Amino acid sequence: MAYAYDSFGWFVRVAEGDHRTTQHPPKNPSTDNTPGEMRANWTGKRWVDHPYVFHDEAAHQAELEADKITREEEKAARDPANIIKGLRSEVYDLEIRVAKLEKGPTPP
């Protein structure tokens, strides 16, 4: 028997072995969604009882999807030519800042 938890660790049901399950049963099998009620939360090693806090699973998943970058974006970020361009830009910016400092303060 497997015990499922959501992406925030809260116990949700007895399951058949989803990707978010453990073989360890929670001491508190409550699935009450009332904020503040004690509920089992999976830490990655064991269940602990905590006051329940509501998290919007759909909004969380949408946020994770928005943070994902495409394979093309990742490839471009790792492209040595783009890395060199970025370094050259940073060096240029530093050269300008140094030149301004060497020149001294601008008279009013």
Q: Which residues lie across from 47 on neighbouring strands?
A: 42
Q: Determine the structural domain holding residue 42 and report its residue range.
A: 2-51
> What pLDDT does residue 25 have?
94
Q: Are residues 22 and 3 in contact, defined by beta-carbon separation less than 8 angstroms?
A: yes
DSSP code of residue 19? S
- For the chain, give the mean pLDDT: 88
Say if 56 falls within a structural domain: no
How many domains, the chain?
A: 1
> What pLDDT does residue 2 have?
92
On the question of pLDDT at 92 being above 80, the answer is: yes
Is the pTM higher than 0.85?
A: no
Say if 69 falls within a structural domain: no
Say if 17 falls within a structural domain: yes
The residue type found at 43 is: T
Say if 40 falls within a structural domain: yes
- SS3 category, 22: strand
On the question of pLDDT at 11 being above 90, the answer is: yes
Q: H helices of 22-79, where?
A: 57-67, 71-78
Tens digit of pLDDT for each residue in 21-72?
999 999 999 999 999 999 999 999 999 999 999 888 888 888 888 888 788 8
